[in-house]
Structures are given as structure tokens and as C-alpha cells.
Amino acid sequence: MKQVLNFINGQHEASDKTFPKHSPLNNTVIADVHEASRTQVDAAVAAARAALDGPWGKMSVAERVERLYAVADGINKRFDEFLAAECADTGKPRSLASHIDIPRGAANFKVFADVVKNVATEFFETATPDGKSAINYGYRTPVGVVGVICPWNLPLLLMTWKVGPALACGNTVVVKPSEETPQTAALLGEVMNEAGIPPGVYNVVHGFGPDSAGEFVTTHPGVDAITFTGETRTGEIIMKAAAKGSRPVSLEMGGKNAAIIFEDADFDAAIEGTLRSAFVNSGQVCLGTERVYVQRPIFDKFVAELKKQVEGWKIGLPEEADTKLGPVISKEHQAKVLSYYKLAVEEGATVVTGGGVPNMGAGFSDGAWVQPTIWTGLPETARVIKEEIFGPCCHIAPFDTEEEVLAKANDNVYGLATAIWTRDVSRAHRVAQKMKVGLSWVNSWFLRDLRTPFGGAKQSGIGREGGVHSLEFYTELKNVCIKL
């Protein structure tokens, strides 16, 4: 059986306790994962502190940039290993992971290395009361040892989205990957060593949340800051833990994102974009669409076409080239998604397509499979409209006016993203700016420039990351005032 070990102070380390990693494809055990003890988390934090005070902290920016470029190159050199590990853990199509997860996982290191290499600081000349002058300039220092708590939906990509800027800014990290997706985080440790990253800079501890590695990291007094992606309930627990010691947090949490399709939209583009935003990665994308609002003159046509298109998506195995949809992450998550499928019917939804479990044939019937599902007919007060499901599903509702759809789309405790489809440029700007979200797409979805700010509003998160905005969390900006 494959063993997935912790990575502490530059070495893979076993634990006394392990837990099984099940394949989402058929629920078979594919690895034993070593659960870090509190003592091992202590050792990881101590190693991170030693590296921060030692060789890593003494490196110049140019040296750090060179090493991080080597990390990116190392991921790409071992592309097939990372791809196999990611697909084994998640069950997602290789065509998807090879196009998004692994390339972006590598690119994050180069992007943030370039940001840090080229960032400017402030400088002011100040008149003093005695008629002379002073100069003030800003400079940035690492925030310290950063706890990185990662999700399971885009494991490598979202982990390096945090580790990349953290290391570029001179911090060290203790990473706690999701218990569902431990393999690529552990594999990255080997690449760190090959790239010449000093021991202790990058540490990985496996486990769960309460009374396990997640709690041990977030409550550890030696951790200076915590960055997290995951559900809002867990984020609130982390905020409480971080309050002790007044430690900063960056939280990217839940979403119940809306797409708005106006009647003047490019119909085919809106269908293609909504098809991806609702169903890609089996709907397990924090930026995905679960609520779709379509202007009434094109509502029936839109529902019929989206149904036709998603029914043409093949549900299959990762290695099959024409697979569009894999399983969800686990049997536990399958049960959650199916409970919402049942609830939708109880709340009065019309099931346009899907609503159950596909027949995957012998050998895969025990996997975490669910059908892509479309509903109509639910009131805005329905739980299925209000609560995040995180599966391959969406509800489509008609609207008549811009004011009406804005009220509906914004009537949610979450505020992560939206996708707006219209040919009217004035309307595009107007609606995008009135949406209470962190990111508004117009005539696109998942189009990302990594220099731009990313984060949620309301219960979707706190803080912004991306480009120079990441420096606000991963560094402390200080000032020097010199009297001349």
C-alpha cells in the first residue's frame, strides 16, 4: 500500500497513526496517510522558525526568486507524477487537471516571485518644524511562520496559490492539506529539496481538523499568520483560534454564486460559459455557479439548451480523453450533494435533468458519482437557493428587470463571484459594480489574471490575495523616518 508521509524539516516522516485514503472512483483504499501528532506539528513549526531565522531569512530576494523558479520548473519536470497523484486523489478528468491544476500549480511560484522582485515601496520627503527635512520610506518584512490550511477541490493549485506568495515574501510555511487530497502536497516536498529550498521552509502535516493537525496548526502559538480556503463554518473556527495572539488571517470561504444572462447576451457564449461554471470539476469550484437567472424572453430556450449540452457530457474515468465529469470527492460529499437533490424535490423543484446517481457499471458502483442536475421552479426562499451545495447542479429562474435580478442575486449571505452575460457595455459596468461580490466576470467565467485582487465579500471571506495584494497579508509594511 502506498504510504503518504508528512514532510518536516526537509525529510519525509512517518507517524504512529495512519488513516486510509479512498478513491472517489470506487471507494477502494489507495493509500495510507500518516496523521501528524501534536509533537510532529510542534517539530514542523520549530523547523519553520529555524529556517526563517537561518538560511532562508538571510537569502536575498534575488536568491529566493531563483529558487522559486526552480520549484516551478521542478513541478513541470515531474508533471506526470503530479497529474497522476492529483487525479488519484480527486477522480477529476486528466484533461482538466493537465490543463488547469498542474500548470497553474507551477505557475504560482513564478508569478509571485516576479511580483516580489519588481514591487516598489513608498518614499516621502517631509518638512520638519525646524526648517530642515526628513525622509520616510517603507520596507516589507515577512510576517513569519504561516499556517496554510488547504481545500480538496483544486489541491495543488490552491495550495501553491498560498505557498507561492508566502515563500516569495520570505516566510516559511506549515501546510495542512485536506485529508481527502494529501498526495501532491507531500510530493512537492521532494521538489522543494531538488530546487535547493532549505529544510524547514516548506513543511507538510497530514490530518483532520478538530483534535488533529488542523487544530494543532491553527492554535499553535508559534504560527504567526493563517491562510485558509474552505467552508465558512471552518473559517469561523479558525478566526476564533487566530484571535488568541491577535494573528492575521486570510480566509476564502463559501459561495452561492449567481450567473445573470440578459436577453441581449451572446446566447451560445452564455450557454458555454454557464455549462462550465455550473458543472466543471463536478461543480466543486468555489467560483462556480449554482444560481442562474435568465431574462424571461430567452428563459425556455436557455433551459432547453443547457439541458441538452450537459446531457452530452460524458461521466467517466480520469484517463478517458472524452470524460467531462468525474465523481465528487468522497462518499461523504456524495451523500451531502444527494441530500440536496432530495431536498430540491421536497421544496417543489422541477427536475429538468439528473437528480440521482449514474450507472457506472461493474467495479465503480461504490464510487462517489452523482448526475449533473438542473432545476427550475423553486422560490427564492428555498434552502437549495440559499445554501452552498458544491456539486454539479444549478437552479435556473426567470427575471424581467435589471433591478429585480440584482435584488435576487445579492440576496445571499455569500458574496464571492458572479458571471454576467450581456452585449450592453453600460449595463455590464453598472450591474458588475452593483453586485456585492469580490469578483464580477462579464461575458466570461474563470478568466484569471493573477495580478488582480481575489477574495470574497460577506461570508465568502476576509482579505485579498493576488499580485501585490498578496503582500498585504504575507508581509508587514514598516516605516523608517530619518531626520536630515
Which positions are annotated as active-site residues?
252
Let me know: does 149 contact 226? Beta carbons within 8 Å.
yes
Distance CA 110, CA 28 (A): 37
Rounded distance between C-alpha atoms, residue 484 and residue 189, angstroms:
49
Q: Are strands 475-483 and 133-142 parallel, antiparallel or unpaired?
A: antiparallel
The rounded distance, in Å, linking the Cα atoms of 272 and 441 is: 14
Backbone angles phi, psi at 417, to 5 degrees: -155, 165
Residue with C-alpha cell 516559511? 172
Q: Which of 172, 132, 134 is nearest to 479 (CA)?
A: 134
Cell numbers 424581467 label which residue? Answer: 400
Q: Are 294 and 261 in contact (CB under 8 A)?
A: yes
Question: Which position has the grid cell 465529469?
Answer: 325
DSSP state for residue 198 in the 8-state scheme:
P
- Name, in order, each residue with C-beta under 8 angstroms of 387's C-beta and a sequence gap of 6 or more: 256, 340
Give the CB-side neighbour count of residue 49, counting CA atoms within 13 A. Answer: 12
CA–CA separation, 151 and 299 (whole Å): 35
* Cross-strand partners of 328: none
Amino acid in the structure at residue 218? T
- Can you tell me the distance from the alpha carbon of 150 to that of 159, in angstroms, rounded to the nearest whole number? 6
Other CB atoms within 10 Å distance of the CB of residue 210: 8
CA quadruple 187, 189, 194, 196: dihedral, nearest 10 = 160
Q: Can you tell me the distance from the alpha carbon of 44 to that of 47, in angstroms, rounded to the nearest whole number?
A: 5
* Helix, strand, coil % in the chain, rounded to nearest 5: 40, 25, 35
**Close Cβ partners of 342 (under 8 Å, ≥ 6 residues apart):** none
**Three-state secondary structure of 16-61:** CEEEEEECCCCCCEEEEEEECCHHHHHHHHHHHHHHHHCHHHHCCH
Q: Is 374 left (phi over 0), alpha (psi -120 to 50) or beta?
A: beta
